A = this chain, B = another copy of it.
Amino acid sequence: MENSEIIYGKNSVMEALIAGNREINKILISKNIHTDVKIAKIKELAIQNGVVFQFVGKEKFQPYAEFNHQGIIAQVSPIKYIELEDFIAQKSEEFRSLVILDGVEDSHNLGAIIRTCVCAGVDGIIIPSRRNVQVNSIVEKTSAGAINHIPIIKVNSLINAVQKLKDNNWWIIATDASANDNYYDVKYNDMNFVIIMGAEHAGVSKSLLKASDFIVKIPMQNDFNSLNVSNALSAIIFETLRQKLALKNNNSNR
């Protein structure tokens, strides 16, 4: 398989099989690992889907020693990125949400962000094709397979992407430590919205802040302004969900 990627770990391999949106060339399982529920499930799914799996000696895992591979790897096609235009054009009966990552550098953070977005029902993640960590094996592993459950949109220019979204009636919400408004002051229910998270150190770039409709902060309770980017996003994105579910609940009680 040309351009194939290695994914590793039980969850990553299992979720790739369940999602079924990526070509899986081969699964290698170490002879030395115990067959637990997940490994059994992986075998079952592989057989159903006609995917080859082989039990191999642990020496086959030598090249991946630096990764926490749990004795299982798979050779898969790279994730398919979605075009922003195609994403925007999709019909939806409900308002949709996006997250833009502006220069997130750490693979573990990107993996955790993908998990949070999938759990909270975010509809897609936009990353720039430069100055940002790309989807690699560590991201796949840290995301615990969540990467297969959410569209990843890669764009050459974030500012162009934001402009395109604005032209299509999306609202842009950037985060910045010096903002006046708190993230929970925004009403997220009646619009398509994008949350922009900045780099771990530099924050959201000036041009994007300028293009935003809202700039919000997380109120810090100590003189210690250093929330991890995935935890900051989690606070914000679950607040948007809280508002959305509260509204649905109110409507169904009428």
Contact call B238/A218, Cβ cutoff below 8 A? yes
The stretch among A55-63, A118-126, A132-140 that forms the contact with chain B is A118-126
Residue A184 CB within 8 A of the other chain: yes
Interface check A175, CB cutoff 8 A: no
Most buried by B among A116, A145, A225, A245: A116
Segment 187-234 of A: residues with Cβ below 8 Å from B: 218-222, 224-228, 230-232, 234
A contact face: mostly helix, strand, loop, or mixed: helix
Are B184's CB and A224's CB within 8 A?
no
Interface centre among A218, A222, A231 (most CB of B within 10 A): A231
Interface residue? A182 (CB, 8 A): yes
| Bound-state Cα–Cα, A219 to B234, Å | 13
Q: Is the CB of A222 within 8 A of B116?
A: no
Q: Is the CB of A119 within 8 A of B225?
A: yes
5 A–B contacts, CB within 8 A, in A order? A11-B226, A146-B224, A219-B241, A227-B234, A230-B231
